[in-house]
Amino acid sequence: MSAEQLEKRVRDFGNLQARLEKCHDFIGKMCKDGRPPKMTIPVQWHDEDFFIATTIQDAIAELSALQARITELEEKVERAFYDGIQQGAFGVNVNGTTGALVKAEEYAKKVLSK
C-alpha cells in the first residue's frame, strides 16, 4: 500500500478531532507503559507512529487554512467598515447623524454574507 493510501485510511478513521483524541489516547498509553509507539514493517495505517504523524500533519494544515481564512475575513471586515464609513460620510442621515457607522455595519454584513 502506498503512503497516500495509508494516509487515506488514517483519514477514513474519523474527522480530525476524533483522530486527535485517538492520538491523545496513544500517547497516554505510551507514557503509562514507558514505551515507544507501536510500529510494524511494512508500515500499516493503524501503526501509532504513522497515525500520529499523519494526524499532526493534517492538524497543522487545518490550522494554517483556518488562520488564512481568519486573516481574509479580518481584511474584509476592515475594508467593509472603511467603505461603509466612506459611504455614510456622504449624506446618509440617521437620527440627525451622518449614519456612517450604521452604513458601515450594514455594508459589513452584506460583504460577510457572501
- Give the residue extent of every domain in the chain: 3-112
Contact predicate 22/13, CB 8 Å:
yes
Check pLDDT > 60 for residue 103: yes
For 57-89, what is each residue's pLDDT tens digit? 999 999 999 999 999 888 877 777 676 666 655
Strand locations in the chain, DSSP E? none
Half-sphere exposure in the Cβ direction for 60 (13 Å, CA) = 6
Give me the pLDDT at residue 24, please. 97
Give me the pLDDT at residue 109, please. 76
- Mean pLDDT across the stretch 7-22? 96
Q: State the average pLDDT for the chain.
A: 84
